[in-house]
């Protein structure tokens, strides 16, 4: 890969991480002003989906049949990668700091390592096992009551469940693209996820509460629509578009390392906007989590994306170098694929 291409990809990856990291810090003031997690997620993903829709239409170039062929992947993305994971993440940050929640959610690659191990019955390489152990040790420090203020047990449980949903997202993202452009998958998943959340909320299963009260930003009151617009346009639409672009330019391994920047960005925004900070033990735990995931991703044996033969009558399309590392949102987090994710079949 040419140096100039790598440099450009890293620059775009920084934009993606900085954009994705905004979501927790700007959504939390809405939650504190009375918004329910379901309402906040629905508004976010619908705004992002509408902004991305024109780009998805251009990318499809009239090939609407690809949407039907990818319907199950798109539905899984909508229900797991968009709706489920984000509601759980936003519910978690109602109770625990944004930085703690995102550190827990970023353990998803470790879950994938264990999943692949159980499914294939092939032990991971030593560096992967070492990285998983280091990351789990870091998690214990992050959530340990002895590390500072006692954390809400329900909030931690919600963050762990969001981590499982994030791992499910990676599995779905690793499926063959079958001609569906990543931006179309992102836009379709956001719009379908928003519609699903509206439908479920209409039944009363998910609390649906919105508020037009002012929120606190930078220590000052601000209209409620400002953080919502920032999250919908920047932390969703821009983040997905730039993240997918970076993934295609960098390849899965380098793109995964670049994706770790979202943790740094989210923690910085939480400190700047919300006054949240990590104590010394939690900072050490966060460093161990990032270091452990970096070790997990050093193994490149799963980076190759296998190409399935095209059905008769359909032209074969080569897989992008990082089709398997499509970008999640935050809850949906930055472009990042576990090293073994492309080898995981769904279903």
Could you tell me the maximum CA-CA distance found in the chain, to the nearest angstrom?
62
**pLDDT at res. 230:** 93
Burial of 241 (C-beta count, 10 Å sphere; 0-12/13-18/19+): buried
Provide the residue-wise pLDDT of the chain in tens; the chain has 347 residues. 445 677 787 788 888 888 988 888 898 899 989 999 999 989 999 999 999 999 999 989 888 888 888 888 888 888 988 888 888 988 898 888 887 888 888 777 778 778 878 888 888 888 878 888 887 888 778 766 554 456 788 999 999 999 888 888 767 766 666 778 878 888 998 999 999 999 988 888 888 899 999 998 877 899 999 999 999 999 998 887 787 677 667 654 455 556 667 777 888 888 887 878 777 887 888 888 778 877 776 665 544 433 344 444 444 443 443 333 333 334 433 333 333 333 333 22
Cβ atoms of 335 and 243 closer than 8 Å: yes
**pLDDT at res. 39:** 92
**pLDDT at res. 150:** 63
**pLDDT at res. 299:** 66
**pLDDT at res. 280:** 81
**Alpha helices in 61-152, H assignment, sequence order:** 65-69, 71-76, 85-93, 98-105, 108-120, 126-143
- Which position has the token pair 């993440």? 89
Domain ranges in the chain are 3-304+319-343
Output 64-71 pairs: Cβ under 8 A, ≥24 positions apart: 66/178, 66/179, 66/180, 66/181, 66/184, 67/180, 67/184, 67/188, 69/178, 69/179, 69/180, 70/177, 70/178, 70/179, 70/180, 70/185
Q: Which of 266, 82, 77, 85 is nearest to 161 (CA)?
A: 85
**pLDDT at res. 103:** 81
**pLDDT at res. 54:** 94
193: number of CA atoms within 13 Å, CB side? 36
Q: Cα Rg for the chain, rounded, in angstroms? A: 19
Helix 3-20 and helix 239-250, axial crossing angle in degrees, nearest 10? 150
Q: Which DSSP helix (H) or strand (E) runs through 221? A: strand 220-222
């Amino acid at each position: 890969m040419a140096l100039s291409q790598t440099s450009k990809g890293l620059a775009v990856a920084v934009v993606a991480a900085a954009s994705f990291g905004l979501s927790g810090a700007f959504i939390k003031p809405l939650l504190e002003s009375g918004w329910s997690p379901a309402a906040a997620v629905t508004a976010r993903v619908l705004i992002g989906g509408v902004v991305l829709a024109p780009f998805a239409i251009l990318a499809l170039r009239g090939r609407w049949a690809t949407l039907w062929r990818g319907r199950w992947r798109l539905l899984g993305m909508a229900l797991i990668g968009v709706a489920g994971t984000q509601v759980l993440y936003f519910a978690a940050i109602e109770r625990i700091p944004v930085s703690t929640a995102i550190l827990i959610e970023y353990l998803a690659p470790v879950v994938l390592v264990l999943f692949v191990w159980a499914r294939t019955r092939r032990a991971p390489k030593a560096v992967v096992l070492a990285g998983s152990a280091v990351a789990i040790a870091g998690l214990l420090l992050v959530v340990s009551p002895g590390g500072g203020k006692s954390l809400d047990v329900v909030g931690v449980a919600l963050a762990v469940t969001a981590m499982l949903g994030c791992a499910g997202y990676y599995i779905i993202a690793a499926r063959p693209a079958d001609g569906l452009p990543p931006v179309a998958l992102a836009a379709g998943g956001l719009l379908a996820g928003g519609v699903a959340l509206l439908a479920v909320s209409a039944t009363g299963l998910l609390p649906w509460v919105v508020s037009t009260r002012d929120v606190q930003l930078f220590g000052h009151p601000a209209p409620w629509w400002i953080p919502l617009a920032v999250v919908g346009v920047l932390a969703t639409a821009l983040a997905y578009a730039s993240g997918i672009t970076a993934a295609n330019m960098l390849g899965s391994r380098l793109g995964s390392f670049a994706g770790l920047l979202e943790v740094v960005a989210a923690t910085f925004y939480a400190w700047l906007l919300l006054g949240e900070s990590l104590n010394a033990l939690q900072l050490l735990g966060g460093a161990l989590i990032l270091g452990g995931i970096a070790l997990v991703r050093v193994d490149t044996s799963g980076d190759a994306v296998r190409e399935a033969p095209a059905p008769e009558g359909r032209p074969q399309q080569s897989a992008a170098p990082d089709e398997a590392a499509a970008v999640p949102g935050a809850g949906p987090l930055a472009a990042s694929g576990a090293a073994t994710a492309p080898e995981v079949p769904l279903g």
